[in-house]
Amino acid sequence: MRFAVLGTGFWATGVHATSLAGADDAELVAFWGRDAAKAAAAGAEFDVPGTDDLDALLADVDAVSVAVPPDVQVGLAVRAAAAGRHLLLEKPIGLTVADADRVVDAVRAAGVASVVFFTDRFRPATATWLEQAARAPLAGGAISWLGSLAGSPFDTPWRREHGALWDVGPHALGLLVPALGPVVSVQAGAGRGDTVHLVLRHASGASSTVTLSSTVAPMAGGVEVTVHGDAGRLVLLPERDDAAVVEAHRAAVTELTQAALTGGTSALDVAFARDVVVVLAAASRALASGCREPVPA
């Protein structure tokens, strides 16, 4: 499958393009960027063309791997789907439910395959953890996802504006929802910086807590993921090295390729990602209202 990377930043080159350049079932053939010079430079790094002409690029590929800010991704995803191109997108797929719905509607209308890169879901350790979690009734779970954007390549305008809730919140929900079931209500409280604390009620009757921050002291960063139930506690140990992230993206490429070839649907398609946006939007309302907010079905 012939892929173009849409985006020219750190994540586009260091993860998306690096993954595709080493994939057995995909070929990196081009870069697109809003800045033609940056697109050309990114392409030169991987010995492929770079352009700012999206329509010309879409005419020459089978799929796109998108690594741009969420508000920019929405329009690109809609155009790529309308051109019949399969989509490997980043989370969140939009910053509003309306934008997420636009992407879902475009994918369904075009009949293309989609996968959203919830990084940890494409790790073998996560699949094992979820299999173990499914063996016994669960009462709840907890995630603490703390980091520091300052001085990192992820210190970008959209993350500073929308905070940890929208940046790393999708990762947390991508783990808790398959383990505990859909979220039906959210309570939320704000902490220092962009820190947020969530209490989630799941349709299964389980509850979970989530603490998210991108503004803690560098030495305080870390990720802790647990669920608990009749069989005790299950702990997921995250991997954060560069090689593990590239391998996870390569697994997402394979999943998209298989879905495109078979006409199947990924469990991590735009419909799942849209439901994550619905929960994040409810959490945003809960932060503003101070009340428990329902999550629309």
pLDDT digits (tens, 9 = 90+) for 52-92: 999 999 999 999 999 999 999 999 999 999 999 999 999 99
Residue 153, number of CB atoms within 10 A of its CB: 10
Asked whether residue 237 carries a pLDDT value surpassing 90, the answer given is no
Identify which of 185, 175, 178 has the alpha carbon closest to the alpha carbon of residue 297. 185
Asked whether residue 238 carries a pLDDT value surpassing 90, the answer given is no
Q: In percent, how much of the chain has pLDDT > 90?
A: 96
Provide the pLDDT confidence category of residue 239 given band limits of 50, 70 and 90: confident
Quote the pTM value.
0.97
Positive or negative torsion for Cα 89, 91, 95, 100 = positive
Q: How far is CA 103 from the centre of its chain?
A: 14
| Structure tokens that stand for 52 in this block | 């700012």
The side-by-side arrangement of strands in the sheet containing 222-229 is 232-236, 222-229, 138-146, 207-213, 196-202, 183-190, 293-294
Identify which of 287, 171, 147 has the alpha carbon closest to the alpha carbon of residue 225. 171
What pLDDT is recorded for position 118?
98
- Longest Cα–Cα distance of the chain, Å, equals 57
What mean pLDDT do residues 119-126 have? 96
What pLDDT is recorded for position 216?
97
What pLDDT is recorded for position 32?
98
What mean pLDDT do residues 194-207 have? 98
Q: What is the mean pLDDT of the chain?
A: 97
Provide the pLDDT confidence category of residue 242 given band limits of 50, 70 and 90: confident
What pLDDT is recorded for position 47?
98
Provide the pLDDT confidence category of residue 241 given band limits of 50, 70 and 90: confident
